[in-house]
């Protein structure tokens, strides 16, 4: 018997999250950059915007273009024919954000302005 | 490592109230690496790593002593902080990672064997004490044993709670003596073993002398910006010391003229005097003795 074989362990801890209908704004430059990243496949692929632990301020943004998971746990936004997905657990953290794209060698790329954030990291990738 | 000359001549056994959490899943070390103040990515099986969970202001939310069991990681934290820590860990799990967080507060117990010769008790149980080290947990039956990073004569043991009593009995049969939390308070104040009295949001790691629980080269973690700024400026506002006094040293804030506010985090009686851990203005850390505004006098020892 090992240390993990005894009694008294709880069921998995469920994160206490609020689920809201998510709304995200995209600037024209962000839409253009997204379109380029989709590489013409807006049918089978989606952009997932998420938040995870980390960064200086507590949460890190993540943006990934992936095969459509076709899972009802994601909320789906149609951005000029491109599907943008947000997991229900991240909806309260990401609701109301504005995504911009800056074409700059230093500090360029997607930029997120988050009205829910009390603070943001200097690099712009973390919020809390 | 701290001085141990003051410790009990026999090993004392303490069952320490602690929070214990377990995170399960293939990416558990990666997830913890995003949260903890130390690097956890490359930990081998049974590795031990001592770190902190901090907030964005750099203040301490919990201690986190890690035991890597492969696809499971045990996180030993302060007493009373488990629920908040588990929510912190669970709420930031990425959508594509299957990680499970469990409450093991009642499943796993935390024993500390402290004294001048704790290894003798363990050797009596058939444990090769030469294998005990700070960086690793040694498996012994269903228990995990390691050396506290701050005090070589404090051995930490994680054991299923259902076996805790029998292990304590076995340690006593091999020369240890059981001790209560008042005695633990004395041991930890004298040895500088910190717990929730100091490892809480009132304090910053560098003020407590916990530079080795903060990895400023690992990249971002909550609080990292603050810790890096404090380290680069090298100007701490306060530091942790041990106080000794013939007068009572009650927990809380006390004023000292020309020095400022002294915050006593924990105190007890020992050898006819009173001892305490306290945060004092850093400018006063080199002072050997001061008088509180209420007239009580305390000598100052570095930790």
Taken in order of first residue, the domains within chain B and their CATH numbers are: 12-190 (3.30.1360.120), 237-303 (2.40.30.110)
pLDDT digits (tens, 9 = 90+) for B114-135: 987 888 889 999 999 999 999 9
Report how far residue B202's alpha carbon sits from residue B210's, in angstroms, rounded to the nearest whole number: 15
The rounded distance, in Å, linking the Cα atoms of B76 and B148 is: 12
Contacts of A58 in chain B (CB under 8 A): 55-56, 92, 222
User: What is the DSSP code (8-state) at residue A10?
Assistant: P
Which of A34, A25, A35 shows the shortest CA–CA distance to A94? Answer: A25
Distance from CA of B78 to the nearest CA of A (A): 18
Q: For A19-41, how does the pLDDT look when each residue is reduced to its tens digit (9 = 90+)?
A: 999 999 999 999 999 999 999 99
Which residues are CB-contacts of B286 (< 8 A; sequence separation ≥ 6)? none
Contacts of B55 (CB under 8 A, 6+ apart): A58, B61, B201, B222, B223
Chain B residues within 8 A of A4 when measuring between CB atoms: 22, 69, 72
CATH topology of domain A17-123: Hypothetical Protein Aq_1857; Chain: A; (2.60.300)
Q: Are B303 and B259 in contact (CB under 8 A)?
A: no
Q: Give pLDDT tens digits along chain B (303 positions).
A: 555 545 666 799 999 999 999 999 999 999 999 999 999 999 999 999 999 999 999 999 999 999 999 989 999 999 999 999 999 999 899 999 999 999 999 999 999 999 878 888 899 999 999 999 999 999 999 999 999 999 989 999 999 999 999 999 999 999 999 999 999 999 999 999 999 999 999 999 999 999 999 999 998 899 999 999 999 988 789 999 999 999 999 999 999 998 999 999 999 998 789 999 999 998 887 899 999 999 999 999 998
List alpha helices for B134-211, DSSP H: 161-173, 181-191
* Separation CA B29–CA B40 (nearest Å): 6
Q: What residue in B sits closest to A119 (Cα-Cα)?
A: B56
**Listed residue (B253, B111, B267) closest to B188, CA to CA:** B267
Determine phi and psi for A16, rounding to 5 degrees: -85, 100
The interface pTM score, or ipTM, of the predicted complex is 0.86
CB contact under 8 A, A9 and B87: no
Q: How far is CA B5 from CA A107, B49, B53, B153, in A?
A: 55, 26, 32, 10
Q: Is A8 within 8 Å of B106 when comparing Cβ atoms?
A: yes
Q: Residue B232: in which H helix or E strand, if any?
A: helix B224-233
Ramachandran category for residue B138: left, alpha or beta (phi over 0 → left; psi -120 to 50 → alpha): beta
Work out whether strand B12-15 and strand B177-178 pair parallel, antiparallel, or are unpaired. Answer: parallel
Backbone angles phi, psi at A54, to 5 degrees: 130, -170
Residue B3 CA to residue B303 CA, distance in Å, equals 9
Residues of chain A with Cβ-Cβ distance to B37 below 8 Å are none
Q: Which of A1, A2, A3, A93 to mutate to test the interface with B (most CBs of B within 10 A)?
A: A3
Q: What are phi and psi of B107, to 5 degrees?
A: -90, -35
Interface list for chain A against chain B, based on CB atoms closer than 8 Å: 1-17, 48, 50-60, 62, 87, 89-90, 119, 121-123, 125-126, 128
Q: Rounded CA gap, B19 and B103, in Å? A: 8
Q: Which residues of A touch B69 (CB under 8 A)?
A: 3-4
Q: Which of B22, B40, B56, B162 to mutate to test the interface with A (most CBs of A within 10 A)?
A: B56
Domain coordinates of chain A in residue numbers? 17-123
A100: how many CB neighbours lie within 10 A of its CB? 16
């Amino acid at each position: 018997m090992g240390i993990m074989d005894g009694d008294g362990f709880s069921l998995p801890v469920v994160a206490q999250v609020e689920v809201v209908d998510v709304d995200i704004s995209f600037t024209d430059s962000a839409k253009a950059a997204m379109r380029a990243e989709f590489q013409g496949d807006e049918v089978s692929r989606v952009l997932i915007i998420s938040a995870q632990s980390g960064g200086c301020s507590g949460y890190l943004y993540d943006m990934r273009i992936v095969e459509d998971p076709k899972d009802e746990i994601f909320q789906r936004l149609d951005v000029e024919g491109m599907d943008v997905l947000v997991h229900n657990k991240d909806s309260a953290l990401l609701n109301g954000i504005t995504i911009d794209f800056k074409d700059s060698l230093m500090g360029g790329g997607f930029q997120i302005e988050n009205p829910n954030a009390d603070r943001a990291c200097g690099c712009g990738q973390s919020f809390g | 490592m701290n001085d141990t000359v003051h410790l009990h001549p026999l090993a004392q056994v303490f069952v320490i109230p602690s929070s214990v959490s377990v995170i399960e899943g293939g990416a558990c070390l990666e997830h913890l690496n995003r949260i903890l103040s130390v690097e956890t990515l490359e930990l081998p099986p049974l590795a031990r790593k001592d770190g902190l969970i901090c907030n964005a202001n750099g203040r301490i939310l919990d201690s986190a002593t890690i035991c890597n069991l492969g696809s499971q990681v045990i996180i030993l934290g302060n007493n009373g902080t488990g629920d908040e820590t588990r929510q912190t860990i669970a709420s930031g799990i990425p959508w594509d990672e299957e990680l499970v967080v469990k409450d093991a507060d009642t499943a796993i117990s935390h024993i500390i064997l402290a004294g001048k010769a704790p290894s003798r008790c363990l050797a009596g149980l058939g444990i090769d004490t030469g294998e005990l080290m700070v960086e690793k947990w040694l498996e012994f039956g269903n228990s995990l044993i390691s050396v506290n990073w701050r005090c070589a004569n404090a051995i930490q043991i994680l054991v299923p709670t259902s076996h805790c009593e029998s292990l304590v009995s076995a340690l006593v049969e091999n020369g240890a003596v059981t001790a209560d939390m008042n005695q633990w308070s004395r041991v930890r104040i004298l040895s500088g073993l910190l717990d929730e009295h100091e490892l809480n949001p009132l304090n910053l790691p560098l003020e407590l002398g916990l530079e080795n629980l903060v990895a400023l080269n690992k990249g971002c973690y909550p609080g990292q910006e603050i810790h890096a700024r404090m380290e680069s400026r090298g100007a701490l506002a306060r530091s942790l010391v041990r106080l000794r006094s013939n007068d009572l040293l009650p927990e809380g804030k006390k004023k000292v003229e020309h020095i400022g506010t002294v915050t006593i985090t924990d105190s007890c009686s020992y050898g006819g005097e009173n001892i305490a851990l306290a945060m004092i203005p850093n400018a006063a850390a080199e002072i050997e003795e001061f008088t509180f505004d209420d007239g009580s006098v305390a000598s100052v020892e570095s930790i």
